[in-house]
Structure 1
């Protein structure tokens, strides 16, 4: 099995309403805005990005309690948004609100 794991912290922005798949599984999507400073090739680099995130099942129910502006740590894996899309989405496996 190949490695596909991402850990990211940031600010929750643009939360969608909870929806359900045809199989009845709850799904919640939100965007995570990440700001940090990283070192690359010995030089400091400012990193700013917005990553689409998807939570399913019990994690969607937990994520539903979040509000825009909350700081969170998310771990999960990357997958395409759909079979016809090349856009990547971070699928949540753990979600922690930063207090």
Structure 2
């Protein structure tokens, strides 16, 4: 089973590009999401800050160009590491929203 999240977010902050011990490019970033959702038949405003990580060639390609951008992200939630259970959004796909 593959469960994916799709969110429209603003990139609040991004860290400098780094590389994993295996040599994979990684960009960590902090995202802000705001929307109006329906739950239990009632509408409510939703807002949250999300820590995210983007790994791969596209992360390297767009590194340094993300802060302040509105993007649609597709990804999955996972723990930060084997030793740190904090949830992080693992980004698989990014689409830039035209302003």
Partner secondary structure for residue 58 of structure 2: helix
What stretches of structure 1 of length at least 5 have no aligned partner?
none
Partners of 2:16 and 2:64 within 8 A in 1: no
Pairwise CA RMSD: 1.3
Match of 2:81 in 1: 82
Give me the TM-score of the superposition, normalised by structure 2. 0.90
Give me the TM-score of the superposition, normalised by structure 1. 0.90
CA distance in 1, matches of 2:61, 2:44: 33
Match of 1:27 in 2: 26
Runs of 4+ deviating beyond 3 Å:
none
Partners of 1:28 and 1:63 within 8 A in 2: no
The total of aligned residue pairs comes to 98
CA distance in 1, matches of 2:77, 2:55: 14
